[in-house]
Structure 1
Amino acid sequence: MDEVLVNEWFAVLKSEEVKEAPVQVVVMGERVVVFRTSKGIHAFKDLCIHRGSALSIGTVKNDTLVCPYHGWQYDSDGNCVCIPAQAKGASIPLKARAQTYVCEEKYGLVWVCLGAPAAPIPEIEPYADPAFSTHVFGPYRINSSSARVIENFLDYSHLMWVHQGYLSDPEYSEIANYGVNRVNGRLVTDEVTIFEFDFDDPDRALIPVVYVKEAYRPLTAFLEKRFGAGRVMCILMASCPIDEQTSVTYTVHAINFDPGEISEYMAVNDAVMMQDMVILENQKPEELPLDLQAELSLKSDLMSIAYRKWLAECGVKLGTV
């Protein structure tokens, strides 16, 4: 397991996906069970200490997670509190417990960290602002490493080509020189102007939109788009590595204007993500090269270059080469 990423938060589910039954997810090859009790959301290693059954195919009863194999019951702290096969009053072995992981809900997502969190889940002001509505998208299961997925999100110059017809047009491909800054441990680009189709124009005229992209954590990124007239869209992307070459990604949008029919807005966002996935799933190698000489980079790739350097400095191994 990656020694750096084990201490990072990963969005593994939408909050609405965790109801009465436990749910299994995979984080860096580790099976994890997520479940609810009256005390909140919880995450355990998806393994009963008794005979290795997956707890995720069990049930939640009286605020305990019940193993489907022999009925062992684990409380929200991972302690086994009932072994049905034992005589009443018999002591429960101290070893009879589940491995627990830290788990929180934020931005409509369930976040899990397998180790000791290196930093809190990012606090992003617009998501707490009542002037903004929020919308959660995903999961997007992608046959590509999480590092590739995040780098693509941070890239500017693909927008006019991969997303032509939805976001922009190849005639506006030139990217002005911009800088990348380190701010409170994050990578933040200067403002970059991209010509995009106007949401509010039935003729879909191209208008200048000001972008700022940020890498918050190795596999969590953020985008702010300013359309003028006070209209702002924010997108948080969180990618969870299933393994070296497979990931699950969620995005959370915050917008302070009316995007029109929500179902249509969601369909467009899904279509844009599908366009990205076609590219991501056909890149070689599937892992992100951290050697800056492995691929040819230009000035327009400055954020990508900075991101790769940053991952190398952090010591991220999983999903990189």
Structure 2
Amino acid sequence: MLINNWYVAATSAELPGDRPLGVRMLGLDFVLFRSGGSVSCLPGNCCHRGGALGDGRVADGCLACPYHGWQFDANGQCVLIPAMGPEVRPPRRARLDSYPTTEKYGWIWVFLGDLPPEERPPIPDLLPEYDDPEHWRLVPYRFEAAANWVRMEENSLDTIHTSFVHRRFGGRVDPKSAAADIELLPHGARVRREKHAPDASAKSGELAKLLPANRTRTRVSLEFSIVGVCHRIQPTFSEGMSQINFTARTPIDEFHTRAFGWQARNYLLGEEHDAERIKGLEEAIAEDLRIVEKVRPQLTPSSLPEEFLTKADSMEVAFRRLVRHWANRGWEIDSERYAVESRNQALVIPSPLRRIDPHNWVHRTVPLRPAGINDLEPA
């Protein structure tokens, strides 16, 4: 799991102004709360005696711990220790790391790392249709998987598996035609592929009525970004008729992943058609999970030759190489050491303030793997 990246922590609607929300990301607990019109994200446990801050309360823009009432401001500094009285100013060491946040696409994104603003990669603009409700109908989706985040994302980047896993996509329709060259990008890659359209009997409902009877080809564009671990998949069924699945994945821990998504369509724009589209989407998610949750090893191999990869796996290889590149920068959590060290001490992701002011903190930071030891061999 990687630090110094943006992750979706929750939907904006999940976080009201009057109470905090506890979330789990990268194997650690965090708490979100609203203060002064913006979202704050702090570690999930108090630096006093480890109380779960997600069970606390929000008062006057500060977060109060449910255990002893310590109050922390939006920047993580303790501003009140009730047992000492309001006249006593808490010492500087009574503070928590605070992580940058922003809201985009109706989601709360958190930057879990210590890079300064000028070094943080921007959240990808992969869903401009979000701001065009006149021409696109959007429906949200969300699910969790008992699978590693890299395995889950690679499955979405794999356009060959659709011919074997997804019934509504036609089932075993000439996967060879899906292979194509990819375009590498600074933080990801994109590909455009064309393949045989599934037989008309594979589609049902209102969508089937709109498709031309003589349809023979389907175009699919796919782009991913390691920033936010997100991707956009856009099949074009016929001229002017298209659909987009935009998904961001957040590691809950090494073996569990949470996905946030929007499906956008430029056909059947009425709300009455949402249920049918959601049903098809949920069916496809279930088909994927039946496969990916049983893939072994659960974590991706440490070198490419440990799997027999082909050109058809080029998007997956590109993603895996970027993951390794970021790990080589010293940004990968050492999960084995963390499992041992976290038994008797609270560990946190380092924050931007900690980089500027590294001394006088209660919580220690998570152990990271040394930089430059995770090179993948050539495919």
Q: TM-score, normalised by structure 2?
A: 0.76
- Paired residue type of 1:312: R
* Counterpart selection for 2:177 from 175, 178, 188: 175
Cross-structure match for 1:187: 189
Change (3 A) 1:185 1:49: closer
Alignment root-mean-square deviation, CA: 2.5
1:301 aligns with 2:313: yes
The correspondence of residues 52-201 of structure 1 with structure 2, limited to 5 A, is 52-115=50-113, 116=115, 118-124=120-126, 125-130=128-133, 131-138=135-142, 140-164=143-167, 166-193=168-195, 195-196=197-198, 200-201=207-208
Q: CA deviation at 1:184?
A: 4.2
* Counterpart selection for 1:15 from 3, 12, 21: 12
Structure (1/2) with the larger helix percentage: 2
Q: Secondary structure at the match of 1:96?
A: coil
- Paired residue type of 1:133: R
Q: Secondary structure at the match of 1:315?
A: helix
Change (3 A) 1:247 1:128: same
Q: CA deviation at 1:285?
A: 0.5
Q: CA deviation at 1:273?
A: 0.7
Q: CA deviation at 1:142?
A: 1.1
Structure 1: where are the runs of 5+ without partners?
none
Q: How many Å separate the matches in 2 of 1:100 and 1:33?
A: 10
Q: Secondary structure at the match of 1:301?
A: helix
Q: CA deviation at 1:173?
A: 3.3
Q: TM-score, normalised by structure 1?
A: 0.89
Q: How many Å separate the matches in 1 of 2:326 and 2:67?
A: 42
Q: How many Å separate the matches in 2 of 1:173 and 1:123?
A: 30
Q: What is the CA deviation profile of residues 275-307 of structure 1, one whole-angstrom value per residue up to 9, with x for unaligned ones?
A: 111111100011122522111223322222333
Q: How many Å separate the matches in 2 of 1:60 and 1:214?
A: 39
Of 153-162 and 239-248, the range deviating more from structure 2: 239-248
Of 77-86 and 5-14, the range deviating more from structure 2: 77-86
Cross-structure match for 2:277: 265
Q: How many Å separate the matches in 2 of 1:120 and 1:188?
A: 18
Aligned identity (percent) is 27
Q: How many Å separate the matches in 2 of 1:286 and 1:275?
A: 18
Q: What is the CA deviation profile of residues 141-160 of structure 1, one whole-angstrom value per residue up to 9, with x for unaligned ones?
A: 21111111110000011112
Change (3 A) 1:292 1:70: same
Q: CA deviation at 1:82?
A: 2.1
Change (3 A) 1:155 1:96: same
8 Å contact from structure 1 (residues 157, 175) kept in 2: no
* Counterpart selection for 1:278 from 290, 304, 315: 290
Q: How many Å separate the matches in 1 of 2:216 and 2:268?
A: 17
Cross-structure match for 2:254: 244
8 Å contact from structure 1 (residues 180, 306) kept in 2: no
Structure 2: where are the runs of 5+ without partners?
336-373
